[in-house]
Structure 1
Amino acid sequence: MDVRQLRYFSKVVESGSFSKAANQLHVAQPALSQHVRHMEEELGVTLLYRGAQGVKTTEAGDRLLHHAKRILAEFAEIADSVRGRALAPSGEVRFGLPGTVGELLAAPLIEAAKARYPDVRIRVVEAMSGYVLEWLKRGEVDLAMLYATSNPKGLAVHHGLSEEICLFAGSLTGDAPPFLQNATVDLAQAARLPLVVPGPGHGLRELIEQAALSVRVPIQPAIEIDSYSQIKKLVARGLGYGILPRMAVQSEADAGVFRIWCFARPEITRRVYLAYSTERPLATAPRAIGQLSWDILRQLVRDRAWTAELSDESHRPNLYN
């Protein structure tokens, strides 16, 4: 078995057809079929089912495909790895960011990349973290910042920071109940307030619901809206109490517009990860931008532009050195 056979096998599975794979590879179909048959004979297992609906992998074929993708990705990286810095990064890098991360990271990242890697063009695409994750898995973006990695299969994820989720209110909100006289609040107490939070399916809402489940408290918001800016506007007008990351409301709190309470039981925090696929080769430009984004992310915390706690250095990626 060799790299060429692995590439042929992967292409057959990807296209779902020997004839389509043969056209894409510019290989005669009988020769392609023979390569796969030799692999099956060598391994002593059936790798593919051939039927009216096309070609499907067997259980053994699934296992081989997993190894083939990893091996082909590593093989594709050899040239760039050997050349190292002798090959200046160039080309487009597609970077998926949740909106709140993009607000803080996008501009300094693009500015730094323009100065350090002038031949690289960054295309930032923003959406909720769940959508960004799906883009990354489908190969529609090269890199991503994510809030959740419940299914990290096929991905490399590096924990960059953890940010606090807090309760906040505006000066126009009515008389605060006695339990809000302290700097901290229990989620069970906060759940009795008229809450303004994102709707079901939003990553932050899911985090709040998980925390509520841990203390057996139902969350019944007064207002549900996915936009952070609209949540802040509604809270500033006195229509309820919001729950958002501290970094989203810290500047208003510093200006005296909002008052913030930390959650004590339980504490609610959200992690931010740098992520990229391990099933596709990561070229020089995405490697360089991924490493740069990591450094800028952490510098934002050190400069107090982002209110968060940094992970330890063991999580640091080694993408471009």
Structure 2
Amino acid sequence: MDLRQLRYFVQVVESGSFSKAAAQLHVAQPALSQHVRHMEEELGTTLLHRGTHGVSPTEAGGRLMHHARRILAEFAEIPDSVRGEAVAPRGEVRFGLPGTVSELLAAPLIEAARERYPQVRIRVVEAMSGYILDWLKRGDIDLAMIYNTSSPKGLAVHHALSEEICLFAVPSFGGKDDIHGEAVRLEDAATLPLLVPGPGHGLRELIEEAARTIRVPIMPAVEIDSYSQIKKLAERGLGWGILPRMAVQREAEAGIFRVWRIEEPKITRKVYLAYSTERPLLNAPRAVGQLAWYIVRGLVQDSTWTAKLSDDNQNPKLFS
């Protein structure tokens, strides 16, 4: 098996047919089919489902695609990596972002990268932090902003900021103000009809962990993983939501929600820039990672992101 065969296989899968791949590669279709058959014989397994409507990867073919894409991307980056920062970064950077982080970071990052590194293409992949962490470890993405670092083996993580988790509701829930002041004890918040993400969600685990320290059960009125849906339900007066302050800051400023700090204990969530230490971090991801770091800090400094910045010694120093 060689790089040419890997490139041919990836193009066949992405095109969905041998004929389309042959046209893209400027290779005769019989020769292309022969290369794939040789790969299957060498590996001793079927790599493609072949049908009248085209081809698709088998389970084994999917695993080969995972390796092939990474190998081809790293091979293409060798010249720039060897030359170092003297050469302008180029190529695709796969960046995993939780949805709420993506809302704030994706657009300014893509805009800044387009101006500074015009030969770099950023592909943003959104998901919950746990999924992003798995993709990062598997090599499906190059960089990530994550919350959970309970399993940091094989990763470099740089603490970017800490954000406050707060309680919120419409200004006069149930026709009266049930909580006075600007803060509420978690023990008291737990008695309210809460709107929170379901079990397994990173934020829910954070809330549960805090509740266990004071031996108080969390029994929500509604469990739903979507932040936007939690806010919609809260706006309709169906309960009290618990979310990061940045997720409700705009509505609080508009008078749609009242927001309370949660105390005894206080709940905070840390956000990290992360990348693998088990694979070389190429020039383009280095440049984009450093740029994302500066943009995140700028978002906090101009109050777009309500959070507390980490110390400067957390700076990843990936790219000048």
When normalised by structure 1's length, the TM-score is 0.74
In 2, Cα distance between equivalents of 1:98 and 1:122? 16
CA distance in 1, matches of 2:91, 2:319: 16
2:206 corresponds to which letter in structure 1?
Answer: L
State the Cα distance separating 1:264 from its structure 2 match. Answer: 1.4
1:272 aligns with 2:271: yes
Give, as a single letter, the amino acid of the residue that structure 1 aligns with 2:284. Answer: A
Q: Distance in 1 between matches of 2:79 and 2:176?
A: 63
1:30-88, CA deviations, whole angstroms, 9 ceiling, x for partnerless residues?
xxxxxxxxxxxxxxxxxxxxxxxxxxxxxxxxxxxxxxxxxxxxxxx997566332211
Q: Which amino acid letter does the alignment assign opposite residue 296 of structure 2?
A: L
- 1:236 is matched with which residue? 235
Unaligned residue ranges in structure 2 (runs of 5+): 1-38, 44-76
Number of the residue aligned with 1:6: none
- Separation in structure 1 between the aligned mates of residue 89 and residue 219 of structure 2, nearest angstrom: 50
Quick one: distance in 2 between partners of 1:312 and 1:187? 28
Mapped to 2, the partners of 1:160 and 1:292 lie a distance apart of: 13
Q: Match for residue 99 of structure 2?
A: 99
**Alignment of structure 1 residues 46-65 onto 2, 5 Å:** none
Partner-residue secondary structure (3-state), 2:83: helix
Q: Give the whole-Å Cα distance in 1 for the aligned partners of 2:94 and 2:162.
A: 24
The DSSP-based 3-state class of the residue aligned with 1:166 is strand
Change (3 A) 1:176 1:311: farther
Q: How large is the Cα RMSD of the aligned pairs? A: 1.9
2:123 paired with 1:153: no
Alignment of 1:131 with 2:131, yes or no, is yes
Tell me, yes or no, if the aligned pair for 2:171 and 2:177 is still in contact at 8 Å. Answer: no
2:125 aligns to what SS in structure 1?
strand
2:109 maps to: 109
Cα distance in structure 2, aligned partners of 1:80 and 1:153: 28
Q: Distance in 1 between matches of 2:172 and 2:210?
A: 28
Q: Distance in 1 between matches of 2:78 and 2:264?
A: 50
Deviation, 1:182, is 1.5
What is the DSSP-based 3-state SS (H/G/I as helix, E as strand, rest coil) of the residue aligned with 1:281? coil
Alignment partner of 1:174: what SS?
helix
C-alpha separation in 1, matches of 2:172 and 2:237: 5
Runs (4 or more) in structure 1 with deviation over 4 Å come to 77-82, 175-178
- Per the alignment, residue 27 of structure 1 pairs with none
Query: Deviations for 1:249-286, whole angstroms, at most 9, x for unmatched residues?
Result: 01110111100000111000000000000000111000
Identity value in percent: 70
CA shift, 1:173, in A, is: 1.8
1:115 positional shift:
0.2
Cα deviations by residue, 1:116-168 (Å, 9 ceiling, x for unpaired)? 00000000000000000000000000000000100100000000000000000
User: CA separation in 2, counterparts of 1:319 and 1:81?
Assistant: 13
Contiguous gaps of at least 5 residues in structure 1: 1-19, 25-76
After superposition, residues 33-72 of structure 1 pair within 5 angstroms as none
Name the amino acid aligned to 2:238.
L
Distance in 2 separating the partners of 1:302 and 1:157: 21
Q: Does the CA contact (< 8 Å) of 1:171 and 1:238 recur in 2?
A: no
Which structure 2 residues correspond to residues 260-299 of structure 1 after superposition, within 5 A? 260-299=259-298
Q: SS of the residue aligned with 1:299?
A: helix
2:235–2:256: 8 Å Cα contact kept in structure 1?
yes
Residue type of the alignment partner of 2:300: V
- Aligned partner letter, 2:285: P
Give the residue type in structure 2 aligned to 1:271: K
Matched, 1:163 2:190: no
* In structure 2, distance between residues paired with 1:100 and 1:201: 17
Structure 1 match to 2:219: 220
Task: Specify the SS of the correspondent of 2:174.
Answer: coil
CA distance in 2, matches of 1:237, 1:151: 38
Amino acid at match of 1:183: E
How far apart, CA to CA, are the structure 2 residues paired with 1:79 and 1:104? 34
Give the equivalent residue in structure 2 for 1:196: 195
For normalisation by structure 2, the TM-score amounts to 0.75
Contact 1:159 1:273 in 2 (8 A): yes
What per-residue deviation string (whole Å, max 9, x for no partner) do you get for residues 5-41 of structure 1? Answer: xxxxxxxxxxxxxxx9xx79xxxxxxxxxxxxxxxxx
Shift of 1:294: 0.3
Q: Which residue of 2 aligns with 1:64?
A: none
Amino acid aligned to 1:185: V
* Equivalent residues of 2:163, 2:244 under 8 A apart: yes
SS of residue in 1 equivalent to 2:158: strand
